[in-house]
């Protein structure tokens, strides 16, 4: 009888481990070469972005091609913008990039592709800080991009520091709050808003096969947890919104009514069913 071959190198092909991670890692490492991993992420993220918008573009392009006899034009950028799909110029399309993948100039080709996408989609060319200045013009406004835990301002610079719907995304919110406190002068205020007593829910990420919080919300807050921060300040808070009204999507209507009427409906709803949706908290500096 022939001896059974002992296979000790069988690949694990379960949903959690597809069996080709090692090959993917080796390929990525080969592509990276001697480039530092911290720099390599910028190259990879650019390619991921191009692939993402190209997939949506190609799907719409195929639909328009099928409807060409009805007057559709697959090469009309407005056909894509009307569907909130980025227009991808010919030189930036994924098949074109694949065709040139082995060229020694592929790095420049990818850079040119990113530039072409930005050129033909003006909203991508306006960074968020500059867009904020355009939308709220004021000679006193200055746009700064900085890390929340290392604000580039001297101590006691501002009368007020505001973080609106931010701290729920932070793994260590106390570090950012401490930094906001540092840059507020005596008599000033640190002010935040965040979802109130939110139930953090997770879904399985289709890319990394790991539990991932919905909306990237890592923390849930109420007045007790918030009061534990910045104990040197005078704490205050108010809640607003109503989870039942949000589920009923009444905000679509209430967003069109005067503020006083919205507040009246909001207070009545929370008196009947006390389920606030958001909390605004502040710490006053003596």
Is 84:57 a contact under the CB 8 Å cutoff?
Answer: no
SS (H, E, C) 194-207: EEECCCCCEEECCC
Is 87:80 a contact under the CB 8 Å cutoff?
Answer: yes
Strand partners, 162: 191
Residue 87 to residues 60, 123, 125, Cα–Cα distance (Å): 10, 12, 14
What average pLDDT does range 51-72 have in this prediction?
A: 91
Domain ranges of the chain: 23-125, 130-284
**How wide is the angle at C-alpha 133 spanned by C-alphas 192 and 118, nearest 5°?**
110
Give just the sign of the alpha carbon dihedral 170, 173, 179, 185. Answer: positive
Lowest-pLDDT range of 13-17, 24-28, 97-101, 236-240: 13-17
**How wide is the angle at C-alpha 145 spanned by C-alphas 139 and 148, nearest 5°?**
120
Question: Which option is the CATH number for 130-284: 3.30.70.20, 1.10.600.10, 3.40.50.150, 3.40.50.2300?
Answer: 3.40.50.150
Say how many C-beta atoms besides its own lie within 10 A of residue 20's C-beta: 11
Strand partners, 158: 184
pLDDT tens for 176-232 read: 999 999 999 999 999 999 999 999 988 887 667 788 888 889 999 999 999 999 999
10 pLDDT more than 50: no
The structure's pTM equals: 0.57
User: Of 99, 106, 113, which Cα lies nearest the Cα of 57?
Assistant: 113
Q: How far apart are CA 20 and CA 91, in angstroms?
A: 31
CATH number of 23-125: 1.20.1260.30
In the prediction, which pLDDT does 5 show?
43
What average pLDDT does range 23-48 have in this prediction?
A: 59
pLDDT tens for 94-150 read: 888 888 888 888 778 888 888 888 888 877 766 677 777 777 888 888 878 788 999
Q: How far apart are CA 226 and CA 281, in angstroms?
A: 7
130-284 has the same fold as 23-125: no
Rounded percentage of the chain residues whose pLDDT exceeds 90 = 41
41 pLDDT more than 60: no
In the prediction, which pLDDT does 26 show?
63
């Amino acid at each position: 009888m022939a001896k059974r071959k002992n296979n000790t190198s069988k690949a694990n092909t379960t949903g959690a481990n597809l069996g080709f991670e090692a090959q993917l890692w080796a390929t990525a490492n080969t592509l990276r070469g001697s480039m530092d991993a911290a720099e390599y992420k910028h190259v990879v993220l650019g390619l991921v972005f191009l692939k993402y918008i190209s997939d949506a573009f190609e799907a719409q392009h195929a639909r328009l091609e099928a409807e060409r006899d009805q007057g559709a034009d697959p090469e009309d950028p407005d056909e894509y913008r009307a569907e909130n799909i980025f227009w991808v110029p010919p030189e930036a399309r994924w098949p074109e990039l694949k065709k040139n993948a082995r060229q020694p100039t592929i790095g420049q080709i990818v850079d040119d592709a990113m530039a072409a996408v930005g050129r033909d989609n003006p909203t991508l060319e306006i960074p968020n800080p500059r867009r904020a200045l355009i939308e709220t013009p004021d000679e006193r406004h200055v746009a700064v991009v900085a890390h929340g835990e290392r604000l580039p301002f001297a101590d006691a610079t501002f009368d007020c520091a505001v973080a609106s719907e931010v701290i729920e995304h932070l793994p260590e919110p106390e570090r950012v709050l401490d930094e906001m406190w540092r840059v507020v002068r005596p008599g000033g205020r640190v002010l935040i808003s965040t979802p109130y007593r939110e139930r953090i829910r997770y879904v399985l990420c289709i890319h990394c096969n790991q539990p991932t919080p919905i909306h990237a919300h890592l923390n849930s807050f109420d007045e007790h947890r918030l009061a534990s921060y910045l104990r040197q300040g005078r704490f205050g808070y108010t809640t607003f919104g109503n989870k039942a009204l949000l589920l009923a999507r009444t905000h679509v209507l209430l967003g069109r009514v005067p503020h006083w009427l919205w507040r009246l409906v909001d207070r009545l709803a929370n008196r009947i069913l006390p389920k606030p949706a958001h909390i605004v908290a502040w710490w006053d500096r003596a």
